[in-house]
Structure 1
Amino acid sequence: MRTFKVEPLDTQAMEICRFRIDNLTKPIYSLATLETIAERFAGILGDPKPNHLRQGVLVVAADHLVDGPQNNQHGSESYAAIKRFNEGRTATQGAAAKLNAVVHVVNVGLEQDTSDLANIEQQVIRKGSHFFGVEPAISREELERALELGFTYADRLHADGLQVVAIGNVGERAFLD
């Protein structure tokens, strides 16, 4: 398993950023969480005035516990959702286009075959739904492969110059991710 080191936030950059934000023509902390996010970005990037950040989106698709142990749906809702991504017809892609952000959609375990969808990256670790009441949802080896895939995409997006990445998921019962 890969190891990595997360550097501490640059507190000096954060303090300078906070001072600047507090001295803008606006009531103190009127932008609430947005101000906190800017301050945090300053600390992460070591830049007291972070702006013009390059951003992207990573959407991971996998089915989990589709329809419980009976699995009557067989991932049909997930397939319909991933097909909309393939066709470029999602709100996520619309918002990303406004921000000039690239969107990567990766199938790591949908139940239905998506190999015919040209705009969906295929990195299937475990195909389909596995109800934990019947069998393990994922093996340790599959978990390690999934983590390594996440590291690989982080490296790839960083190499592409992205500084901010929104992550999301598609899949039936995906809230279990």
Structure 2
Amino acid sequence: MIQSISTELETQLQEKIDFKTKPIGSLGTLETIAKQIGQIQNTLSPTLNQPTIVVFAGDHGVVKSKPVSPYPQEVTQQMVLNFLQGGAAINVFCNQNNIDLHIVDAGVNGDFPENEKLITAKIGLGTSDYSEGPAMNSSQLEEALAKGKEIVKDLHQKGTNIIGFGEMGIGNTSSASLLMSYFTGIPIEECVGKGTGLDDNGVHKKAEVLRSVFDLHSSNIKTPIDAIQFFGGFEIVMMVGAMLEAAALKMTIIVDGFIVTSALLSAYYLDKNILDYCIFAHTSGEQGHQKMLDHLKVTPLLHIGMRLGEGSGAAVAFPIIKSSVEFLNKMATFKSANVSEAN
């Protein structure tokens, strides 16, 4: 069960922000974030301890039978190896910003050598083909949710209080589009984008596939959990569990792009209090992302055309989040600096 963030110190936090040596409101969104993190931690002096990004990876059975991605399924495994070897964008940005990075094998169709960054939590060698049946069975769903929670609980026990999420999985924009359409009520055709680089004709074919998938399962989906089971990927479901646990543990959650937001959207319909703990990193170039953000009535920090995934947007946004805590804790007040206040 996720508690709403505390309002006990809300007035004091706002006063602390307002009496810094600046015009009221002049630090814009930084002030909003500072107050939010202060309320999450229920303190006037919040800290960001052991910032961590967890990238969940999994394969999707539909890729083997339907034209939903220009890349073959093997790219998931190849990119995870790239993460483990330190060669991807997420590695660069985490190193730049002193963010711990963990890669979770939630269900990649392949195995990996031992690596200090790797968390093995494999549910299966990719999901089932949801153009023929549910993406996973109920026991796989429960196992994925539980493993996501376990991973976050372990990180929290080791000292992490701010966590970002990323993903890797060829075909996972299709799962995200299906989940988005179910939860928002937006027609699937308006949720589908280019993913890893489809042209306009490819997007049209992808939309046709996903329309047939949606219609196939619509009569069997009665609850949010059903939608996650029928349409999700192991990496998406594991993120749902991880996000729910992070909020339950009063951690600050940094939400990345389209796929991560689809996991957050799914978690939101299981417990709407999760939104109190979320900071949305950026607006993805994937066409459905802004519509999801609008549905949730949230404003992202950045709009710089990123659409890579991997948690890269979360890593790039982290310095802004850090700045919000730094000014709250270290900036002088009018009184301490002997600066006259406005009349």
TM-score range, shorter chain: 0.7 to 0.9
Deviation at residue 109 of structure 1 after TM alignment: 0.8
Between stretches 62-71 and 122-131, larger displacement belongs to 62-71
Secondary structure, aligned partner of 1:105: strand
Deviation at residue 18 of structure 1 after TM alignment: 2.1
Deviations 1:113-171 (A, max 9, x none): 12235343221102124321123211111110011001101210111100001011111
**Counterpart of 2:50?**
54
**Counterpart of 1:29?**
25
Residue type of the partner of 1:128?
Answer: G
Q: In structure 1, how many angstroms separate the alpha carbons of the residues matched to 2:19 and 2:47?
A: 17
**Counterpart of 2:59?**
63
Task: Give TM-score, length-normalised by structure 1.
Answer: 0.83
Between stretches 165-174 and 28-37, larger displacement belongs to 28-37
- Superposed, 1:11-160 pairs within 5 Å as 11-67=7-63, 69-70=65-66, 74-111=72-109, 113-116=110-113, 118=115, 119-160=117-158
Instruction: Give unmatched runs, 5+ long, in structure 1.
Output: none
Deviations 1:85-107 (A, max 9, x none): 01012222222223322111011
Deviation at residue 23 of structure 1 after TM alignment: 2.6
* Gap change, CA 1:68 and 1:26, over 3 Å in 2: farther
Task: Give TM-score, length-normalised by structure 2.
Answer: 0.46
Structure 2 contact 49–159 (Cα < 8 Å) conserved:
no
Taking only aligned residues, the RMSD between alpha carbons, in angstroms, comes to 2.3
Q: In structure 1, how many angstroms separate the alpha carbons of the residues matched to 2:171 and 2:9?
A: 41
Q: In structure 2, how many angstroms separate the alpha carbons of the residues matched to 1:8 and 1:129?
A: 34
Please identify which structure carries the higher strand content.
1
Structure 2 contact 81–112 (Cα < 8 Å) conserved:
no
Aligned length: 172
- Provide runs of 4+ in structure 1 moved above 6 Å: none
Deviation at residue 76 of structure 1 after TM alignment: 1.9
Please identify which structure carries the higher helix content.
2
Q: In structure 1, how many angstroms separate the alpha carbons of the residues matched to 2:141 and 2:4?
A: 27
Larger relative contact order (CA 8 Å, sep ≥ 6):
1
Between stretches 64-73 and 14-23, larger displacement belongs to 64-73
Secondary structure, aligned partner of 2:136: coil
Structure 1 contact 65–172 (Cα < 8 Å) conserved:
no
Residue type of the partner of 2:28?
Answer: A
Residue type of the partner of 1:166?
Answer: G
Structure 2 contact 60–170 (Cα < 8 Å) conserved:
yes
Instruction: Give unmatched runs, 5+ long, in structure 2.
Output: 177-235, 237-343
Between stretches 84-93 and 152-161, larger displacement belongs to 84-93
Q: In structure 2, how many angstroms separate the alpha carbons of the residues matched to 1:53 and 1:75?
A: 36
Q: In structure 1, how many angstroms separate the alpha carbons of the residues matched to 2:84 and 2:40?
A: 33
